[in-house]
Amino acid sequence: MKRTTFLHTTLVTLTIMGLTGCNVATRVSEIGEAPKLASIQDPSSIPNSVPVQMPMPAPQLGERQPNSLWRTGSRAFFRDQRASRVGDILTVIISIDEKAEISNETKRSRNNTEAATMTNLFGLESQLTKVLPEGTAGDSLLNTGSTTSNNGKGTVDRSEKINLRVAATITQILPNGNLVLAGRQQVNVNYDLRELLITGVIRPEDISAENTVKYDQVAEARISYGGRGQLQDVQQPRYGTQLLDVIMPF
């Protein structure tokens, strides 16, 4: 009996360790310390920062005009200081202030009544009992009714506001000249690590003279803002509670 209990306890322990994985070891190693910042690395290794393939026309290269220093397609006579090559850095301005309020209400009702009588039919009404069940009378041959009612109501009230600036790096130049960017920013404040990730595709023409681009000019934008640490840990349910929420059918 004791051996069975020991095996059961060991199995449960190994299962919990397998579910939590390396995250538990990391959190245990950071007890009493602030979360460690990630080391500087190649921006192309950021999650979801992969080579992008999109349908696009063939690239058109500008040709130099004879006896001219100007090149067709150039944006300035002198070298442009804005990000344009792989490895260049630009600033992405994230200013989200959205609010949505939706209220829908639908009411529907329906009432149907149908009645049919046959008191006289060439004197054959008395023969109905031979065809229909006994007790059938011509004045109550058919009498039906139905009533339906439906009432639906839905409300959405959502508000989001984020104001951030993050430096991103050009990781790829697409054949049509568009630029793929990826950026990550980590801030450690009072044992709580805040992390901002952004990836997407921009047009060189949308980069301002200050070498900035707005978030709503980033195509296929993927913006993630979250964190981890002591405060974030308190706000999240424990692993056992999260597991029960997933597997419990009721």
Say what percent of the chain tops pLDDT 90.
Answer: 20
Q: What pLDDT was estimated at residue 166?
A: 93
CB 210 within 8 A of CB 218: no
Q: Which amino acid is at 148?
A: T
Mean pLDDT of 47-54: 73
Residue 44 has pLDDT above 60, yes or no: yes
Greater confidence (9 vs 75) lies with 9
Is the torsion defined by CA of 66, 68, 69, 73 positive or negative? negative
- 95-99, 113-117, 241-245, range with the lowest pLDDT: 113-117
How is residue 177 annotated by DSSP? S
Cα separation, 182 vs 175, in Å, equals 18
Alpha carbon distance, N-terminus to C-terminus of the chain? 32
Is the model's pTM score more than 0.85?
Answer: no
Q: What pLDDT was estimated at residue 66?
A: 67
Distances (CA, A) of 125 to 114, 116, 133, 167: 21, 14, 13, 92
Structural domain spans, the chain: 44-51+75-99+162-247, 102-155
Q: What pLDDT was estimated at residue 191?
A: 78
Q: What pLDDT was estimated at residue 208?
A: 92
108 Cβ contact list (under 8 Å, min separation 6): 148, 149, 150, 151
Cα separation, 11 vs 24, in Å, equals 18
Residue 75 has pLDDT above 60, yes or no: no
Q: What pLDDT was estimated at residue 189?
A: 81
Say what percent of the chain tops pLDDT 70.
Answer: 62
Residue the block writes with tokens 């709503």? 216
